[in-house]
């Protein structure tokens, strides 16, 4: 039975974790893993509160498909300051992923099937959104990295080669340390198959 290993990191611009508007989540149920990374507009206490509200809603609806989850959260948070979010589901046994996202979250796979995950523009909780569901291979040996815009988008090639051999914890710590910016909350999720 294939299983995944993952690490989630968040760091508040203002230092205090109670002031962080970025939030990451990883859960497994019956071999299906759900990963969510969200970034509330702005930062500070109010952003953190909205991130927690979104987190509660997502946890209660974790078995929904990625698009339904995004649409329902959009309705739930409508009129709030809004957030951007990516949802990735992985069927580890069958090495398949489904994903959907709205707004500026960067997500890529590295390894056998290296590619960027493409999301739709917009803000969850604001205006109109048109999330779509995409399906892709996520093979044993691949690495999935999700990051908010508080983390610089381009990694140097030496670090990318380390991604393929290091643990998710070490990769996530390396990304936060080397690529986390000082201008925004920062977060990442790193996902690999267990050996
Ligand atoms: Mn941000």
Q: What value does the mean pLDDT take over residues 90-96?
A: 96
How confident is the model at residue 195, as a pLDDT? 87
Q: What is the pLDDT of residues 142-162, one digit of tens each?
A: 999 999 999 999 999 889 998
Mean pLDDT over the full length of the chain = 95
Q: What is the pLDDT of residues 1-57, one digit of tens each?
A: 899 999 999 999 988 888 999 999 999 998 999 999 999 999 899 999 999 999 999
Compare 77 and 44 and report the one with higher pLDDT: 77
Whole-number Å distance, alpha carbon 29 to ligand 1 midpoint, is 29
115's tokens: 């590619």
Q: Are 138 and 144 in contact (CB under 8 A)?
A: yes
Whole-number Å distance, alpha carbon 133 to ligand 1 midpoint, is 23
Q: Residue 51's CB: how many other CB atoms inside 10 A?
A: 22
Provide, rounded to the nearest whole percent, the portion of the chain with pLDDT above 90: 87
Whole-number Å distance, alpha carbon 153 to ligand 1 midpoint, is 12
Whole-number Å distance, alpha carbon 146 to ligand 1 midpoint, is 13
Whole-number Å distance, alpha carbon 148 to ligand 1 midpoint, is 6
Whole-number Å distance, alpha carbon 100 to ligand 1 midpoint, is 18
How confident is the model at residue 114, as a pLDDT? 84
How confident is the model at residue 139, as a pLDDT? 94
Cα atoms in the 13 Å half-sphere on the side-chain side of 47: 22
pLDDT value at 72 more than 90: yes
Whole-number Å distance, alpha carbon 194 to ligand 1 midpoint, is 30
Residues 187 and 165: their CA atoms lie apart, in Å, by 21
Taking Cα atoms as reference points, which of 85, 89, 108 lies closest to residue 98? Answer: 89
Residues 90 and 75: their CA atoms lie apart, in Å, by 25
Whole-number Å distance, alpha carbon 99 to ligand 1 midpoint, is 20
Whole-number Å distance, alpha carbon 184 to ligand 1 midpoint, is 6
pLDDT value at 96 more than 80: yes
The domain ranges of the chain are: 4-193
pLDDT value at 113 more than 80: no
Superfamily in which the 4-193 domain is placed by CATH: PPM-type phosphatase domain (3.60.40.10)
Which residues lie at CB < 5 A from ion ligand 1?
39, 148-150, 184
């Amino acid at each position: 039975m294939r299983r995944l290993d993952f690490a989630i990191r968040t760091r508040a611009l203002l230092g205090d974790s109670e002031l962080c508007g970025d939030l990451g989540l990883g859960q497994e149920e019956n071999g299906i893993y759900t990963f969510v990374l969200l970034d509330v507009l702005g930062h500070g206490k109010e952003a953190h509160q909205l991130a927690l509200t979104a987190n509660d809603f997502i946890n209660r609806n974790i078995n929904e498909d990625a698009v339904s989850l995004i649409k329902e959260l959009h309705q739930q948070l409508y009129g709030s300051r809004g957030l951007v979010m990516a949802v990735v589901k992985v069927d580890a046994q069958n090495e398949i992923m489904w994903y959907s996202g709205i707004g500026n979250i960067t997500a890529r796979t590295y390894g056998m099937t290296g590619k960027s995950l493409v999301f739709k523009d917009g803000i969850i909780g604001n205006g109109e959104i048109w999330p779509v569901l995409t399906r892709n291979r996520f093979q044993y040996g691949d690495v999935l990295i999700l990051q908010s815009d508080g983390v610089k988008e381009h990694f140097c090639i030496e670090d990318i080669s380390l991604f393929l051999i290091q643990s998710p914890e070490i990769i996530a710590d390396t990304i936060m340390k080397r690529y986390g910016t000082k201008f925004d909350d920062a977060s990442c999720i790193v996902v690999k198959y267990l050996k």
